Amino acid sequence: MNVSKILIGSDHAGLRLKNEIISHLADMDIDVVDVGTYTADSCNYPDYARALCKKIQSGEYGMGILICGTGIGMSMAANKHNGIRAACCSDTYSARMTRMHNNANVLCMGERVVGVGLACDIAEAFLSTEYQGGRHDIRVNMLAEIEAENQ
């Protein structure tokens, strides 16, 4: 694994899966910083996406994982932040490809979509895959240009 520390966050609908992933990654000696939520009380996913993305934007962390019921809301909220390339993945192939080709820095998953074992495999695939760069830089740079146009 090429990552030694990451951020993780969830809303109430992703709390159980988040805690399972934290335990799994800790067993792999990855330092996981949890930005919340910490209870099953109903809450708003954009708050946790914002907390995680702000830490990535600051340069303090390079990657993160966000979990909600489907992963879709978290990915939408995360992608509103400049420099964040969040991908909602439900399989390991997509997790590897979004790192290799899109240089994604936030993985989003849904507790109601993937089971614990698969989610841990998806997280491992995402965190262990390097961005290929090269011809993919053109497209990733185009994403940054679109962000700049819409500030």
Q: What is the per-residue pLDDT across 30-47, written as a single tens digit (0 to 9) for each?
A: 999 999 999 999 999 999
Sheet containing strand 31-34, edge to edge, reads 31-34, 5-10, 64-68, 106-110, 86-88
> pLDDT band for position 6 (50/70/90)?
very high
Q: Which of 12, 24, 53, 68 is catalytic?
A: 68
**pLDDT band, very low/low/confident/very high, at 1 (cuts 50, 70, 90):** low
Q: How far apart, in whole angstroms, are the C-alpha atoms of residue 16 and residue 118?
A: 14
Distance CA 19, CA 41 (A): 15
Model pTM? 0.97
Q: Give the other-Cβ count within 10 Å of 59's Cβ.
A: 8
Q: Is residue 101 annotated as part of the catalytic site, yes or no?
A: yes
Q: How far is Cα 76 from Cα 48, in angstroms, rounded to an integer?
A: 12
**Percent of residues, the chain, with pLDDT higher than 70:** 99
Helices (H) and strands (E) in the chain, counts: 6, 5
Q: What is the pLDDT of residues 55-109, one digit of tens each?
A: 999 999 999 999 999 999 999 999 999 999 999 999 999 999 999 999 999 999 9
What pLDDT was estimated at residue 3?
82
Residue 38: predicted pLDDT: 98
Fold adopted by 5-149: Ribose 5-phosphate Isomerase B; Chain: A, (3.40.1400)
Q: Where are the domains of the chain?
A: 5-149
pLDDT at residue 119 tops 90? yes
Residue 151: per-residue pLDDT: 82
| Contact by Cβ (8 Å): 126, 91 | no
Catalytic annotation on 81? no
